[in-house]
Amino acid sequence: MQTFEFTRPSDLTSAATAAASANTAQQGADIRFIAGGTTLVDLMKLNVEQPHTLIDLNRLPLGTVETLPDGGLKIGAMVRNSDLAHHASVLSDYPVLSQALLSGASAQLRNKATTSGNLLQRTRCMYFRDNTMPCNKREPGSGCGAINGVNRMMAILGTSEHCIASNPSDMNVALTALEATIHIQNGQAVRSVPINEFYVLPGDNPQRETVLEPGDLITHVTLPAPVTGNKSVYLKLRDRASYEFALASAAVIIKIENNRLSYARVALGGVGTKPWRSKEAEQVLAGATLSENTFRAAAEAALQGARAQSQNGFKIELAKRCLTHALKLATQTA
């Protein structure tokens, strides 16, 4: 682990000012906000992350969940995963989010991990985490070791010739299906970004994973009011039932009227370079009658653009079956 400067602001303004000051003083050198530290500290120990400045957010008043006037939900950046998963409003109105949170990590990690930290969770690719290996995400231009190496866990959607690393999050798959909005502050400037625009594809620049700029601080996430009468499911398929990352997962939110799907939102995990919203599947489901053929057609549409590597071709069929079964489970709860 490299040496770094450490600051612990007591309010949001101080945190934003500290980030802006560090960015100016170091001419764009790495700044990291630290919350639970469940990913960042690990990567610092591996010298994958080498920030010059750490800004501790644990004293900031960003740890509440509030119902908004329009019926939506405001989730503070520092809300712990365990607290969010068991919050009454999440359990009643956004159960897919609770299911996703509880399927990820261990109870101990969920007690420390935060909403903002989970949004910024880094890939588990072994080449990214080992700085003796080539990785364009960690060291642009060094190559992607996974393409011709160990790639069983890697992505099949949104990949490029420079990176095939998969996004490991469960929470963010559910947030994508829920059409969450990420709220960001930098100095005195604030902006809001829909989650589907928050993550970027690797393309030629796999080192960039989100639209965040140096000094940007996530303050909270908002969810729109739940669709009346909707049913939702998060289904995660993995090598073992205990603490493990997804081979494929699906978050589905549907509403059924007169034996037809009047509303459908679909997101996939474990198979994309980012939490993967499938509008192709949603288009197949829109207005369709309930049947296994409909669900399978939606799954086929969702994986139409998949590109397999030498060891992860099984993920294509696995993801199709995962989505098909998640839709069946959602209709059974209706």
The answer to the question of residue 20 being in a domain is yes
Which residue bears the tokens 């069929």?
317
The per-residue pLDDT for 23 is 63
Which helix (DSSP H) or strand (DSSP E) does residue 182 occupy? strand 181-186
Average pLDDT over residues 158-168: 98
User: Which of 43, 58, 73 represents a domain boundary (last residue)?
Assistant: 58
The letter for the amino acid at 304 is: Q
225 found inside a domain? no
Last residue of a domain, one of 15, 31, 58: 58
Q: Is 92 part of any domain?
A: no
Residue that the structure tokens 């790495």 belong to: 30
In a domain, 36, yes or no: yes
pLDDT of residue 24: 60
Evaluate if residue 43 carries a pLDDT over 70. yes
Placement of tokens 């409003």 in the chain:
89
* C-alpha–C-alpha distance, residues 49 and 38, integer Å: 13
Query: ∠ at Cα 201 (197, 242), nearest 5°?
Result: 90
Here the tokens at position 3 are: 């040496």
Q: Which domain holds residue 9?
A: 5-58
Give the percent of the chain with pLDDT over 70: 97
Cα 256 to Cα 231, 262, 286, 326, 334, distances in angstroms? 9, 6, 10, 15, 7
The answer to whether residue 91 scores a pLDDT higher than 70 is yes
Residues 6+ apart with CB under 8 A from 127: 133, 134, 135, 144, 145, 146, 149, 165
Average pLDDT of 211-236? 95
Question: In sequence order, what E strands does 5-95 have?
Answer: 5-7, 31-34, 53-56, 65-67, 73-76
| Model pTM score | 0.95
Closest-CA residue to 49 (of 131, 164, 126): 131
Pairing label, strands 248-257, 260-269 = antiparallel
Looking at residue 42, which CATH number applies to its domain? 3.30.43.10
- Please report whether residue 291 resides in a domain: yes
Report the CATH number that the domain containing residue 289 is assigned in CATH: 3.30.390.50
Question: What are the pLDDT digits (tens) for 14-41?
Answer: 888 888 776 665 545 588 999 999 999 9
Instruction: Give domain status of residue 203, yes or no.
Output: no
Closest-CA residue to 6 (of 79, 66, 65, 56)? 56
> Is pLDDT of 236 > 70?
yes
Contact 272, 290 (CB under 8 A): no
**Average pLDDT of the residues of the chain:** 94
Cα-based distances in Å from 284 to 156, 164, 215, 229, 249: 21, 27, 41, 21, 19
Identity of residue 325: H
Q: Is residue 75 part of a domain?
A: no
**Structural domains in the chain (count):** 2
In a domain, 295, yes or no: yes
